[in-house]
Amino acid sequence: MRLGALLLLTLRASAAVLQGVVLDEETGNPLARTLVTLTPLPRTEAATVTIRTGDRGAFSILSVRPGWYVLKTSRKGFADAEAGQLRPGRPGIPFEVLPDGQSAFFQIRMKRLAAVTGSLLDENNVGIPDLPVHIYTARKPVRRIAEGKTDDRGIFRIGGLDPGSYIARSGAGLLEDNTGVLPTYYKYGDTLRTAQPFNLRLGDTQTDVVIRPQRGQLLTISGVLSLPAQRLTLITDTGRRQIASGAGPFEAGNIPPGPIELVADGADCGGYMKLSLDRELRALRIGCNPLYAAQIDWRVRDTTRSGVQYPILARRVDLDGASASRILKTNEFILPGHYELMVQTGPSHYAQAMRGIPPPTKEGGWFGVDFGNQARLTILLSDTPGAISGSVTTGGKAVAGAVVYLEAFDRDAQDPRLQLWAARTDHTGRYSFPGLTPGMYRLLSTFDFDAEDRYAMNASQEVKVVEGSAALVDLELILR
């Protein structure tokens, strides 16, 4: 494939106007109210512009300054799309607006996200109504990411799923005669090892996911919630529910056997308990102890600078999945439990370690930390990070806006993939990844990359990043 067929759309206009229409790829119908974002490449002196399409899916962006851009669309229920992408879900091809040319028209087709459909059946192949169904990631760490409920015929449909590998599981509930049914994986059994994962691509619908929930005893817990607690939340790996409002006696039933979490909270107080439930529990006493502001001790290695601080992303991870990430506020009270933290360092530092009690784990750039009522943490920064930079060419010519993928990996691990980043080259074909933790990385530049393909990085170049050094890696654009 020639580069000219891929990337270089040149527009000539003193004040260019970009127009277009956004369509549903499956039906061809226009997609109204779709977000359209025009993003300049690095070193293009222009601001990002975001608008919405009209009733007929049309959009118009006025007075576009000269430079290199990427045009992106996003809409609920659809995968993000970019102008010029080779196929749905792939990065788009950048284009240049020159000072003295004409406007341009774009037609962007969007593809729906994936879905899964199926049914929950009893012993006579009759659908079970009003029972929850949960979707988990198949790749570790296994986490619940979506849920639905069966209709009056025991049929369910859960959409809005990104490409990837998933596991389906029915939730706990009661049949018409109050017989309990336990959470059961597709295809068989109530343990994770019996689950059968399925792979989804954009626009796919995994059909005929038939689950036959296993019968079993659902359990009850009861006890007393102490003052000054205001709420008590029960969390399992199939969801959460509030089981007490205000201090005093509480009771909760229809709980499947297995791990549970109990979280108490009130005005500046909190409590946390994790149990393995294999029988009914009575006379539990759940406290709500005073909370203290998070204490972060920043330590910078090999430097005389003081007061170095960066934003910290935090997300709480319970049995039913991870919350959305947010910036940890100064002097914020943190409920006890398990959290994942990531330091948003700049190009001059990287987070070398986090020290907590017990020592935290790390995966995908996130440090896992267990906090009690006092959240104390020491963050060790290094001011000698590594970096990787270089250029992307094809046929000896620089490629503006080429996508470069950088992956941290461990070749000796069962799953070597640790963390993935993506960046685009500027108008001269240059890219840069600053602020890197020392270790092994691999790089690839292509417009046709599938992050779910375990062999996608086979054609990559490996590079070892050393503390305080910058590696220069020039890449040839891979054309498929």
DSSP string, 76-114: TTB--EETT-SSTTSPPPPEEEETT---EEEEEEE-BPE
Rounded to whole angstroms, how far apart are CA atoms 288 and 264?
6
Rounded to whole angstroms, how far apart are CA atoms 21 and 95?
17
Phi, psi (rounded to 5 degrees) for 168:
-110, 145
**Predicted local confidence at residue 471, as pLDDT:** 96
What b/e readout covers 292-319, taking b as 16+ CB neighbours within 10 angstroms?
eebebeeebeeeeeeebeeebbbbbbbb
Rounded to whole angstroms, how far apart are CA atoms 266 and 184?
35
Question: Which residues on neighbouring strands pair with residue 70, listed in sequence order?
Answer: 39
Q: Tell me: the pLDDT tens digits for 83-97?
A: 999 999 899 999 999
Mean pLDDT of 171-175: 95
Closest by Cα among 278, 292, 287, 276 to 225: 287
Domain ranges in the chain? Answer: 3-110, 114-211, 219-290, 295-382, 386-476
CATH architecture for residues 386-476: Sandwich (2.60)
- Give strand ranges (E) for 47-202: 49-52, 58-64, 67-74, 81-82, 95-98, 104-110, 114-120, 132-137, 144-149, 155-161, 164-170, 173-174, 180-181, 198-200
Mean pLDDT of 424-445: 95
Q: Tell me: the pLDDT tens digits for 115-160?
A: 999 999 999 999 999 999 999 999 888 899 999 999 999 999 999 9
Phi, psi (rounded to 5 degrees) for 388:
-135, 135
Mean pLDDT score of the chain, rounded to an integer? 90
What would the two tokens of residue 467 be?
């503390």
pLDDT score of 332 more than 80: yes
Give percent helix, percent strand, percent coil of the chain, each to the nearest 5: 0, 55, 45
Under CATH, which number does the domain 295-382 receive?
Answer: 2.60.40
4: enclosing H helix or E strand: helix 3-6
Map tokens 């104390």 to a residue: 376
Under CATH, which number does the domain 219-290 receive?
Answer: 2.60.40.1120
Rounded to whole angstroms, how far apart are CA atoms 95 and 7?
7
Question: What's the burial of 451, exposed, middle or buried (CB within 10 Å: 0-12/13-18/19+)?
Answer: middle
**Predicted local confidence at residue 339, as pLDDT:** 93
Contacts 24+ apart (CB under 8 A), 188-193: 189/214, 190/214, 190/216, 192/142, 192/167
pLDDT category of residue 364 using cuts at 50, 70 and 90: confident
CATH architecture for residues 114-211: Sandwich (2.60)
Mean pLDDT of 399-412: 91
Under CATH, which number does the domain 3-110 receive?
Answer: 2.60.40.1120
What would the two tokens of residue 91 be?
């990065």
**Predicted local confidence at residue 2, as pLDDT:** 43
Map tokens 């009209």 to a residue: 54
Q: Tell me: the pLDDT tens digits for 218-267?
A: 999 999 999 899 999 999 999 999 999 999 999 999 999 999 999 999 98
Q: Do domains 3-110 and 114-211 have the same CATH topology?
A: yes
Rounded to whole angstroms, how far apart are CA atoms 79 and 271?
40
Higher-confidence residue: 255 or 7?
255
pLDDT score of 7 more than 50: no
**Predicted local confidence at residue 11, as pLDDT:** 47
- Give strand ranges (E) for 410-456: 417-424, 430-436, 439-445
What's this model's pTM, rounded to 2 decimal places?
0.86
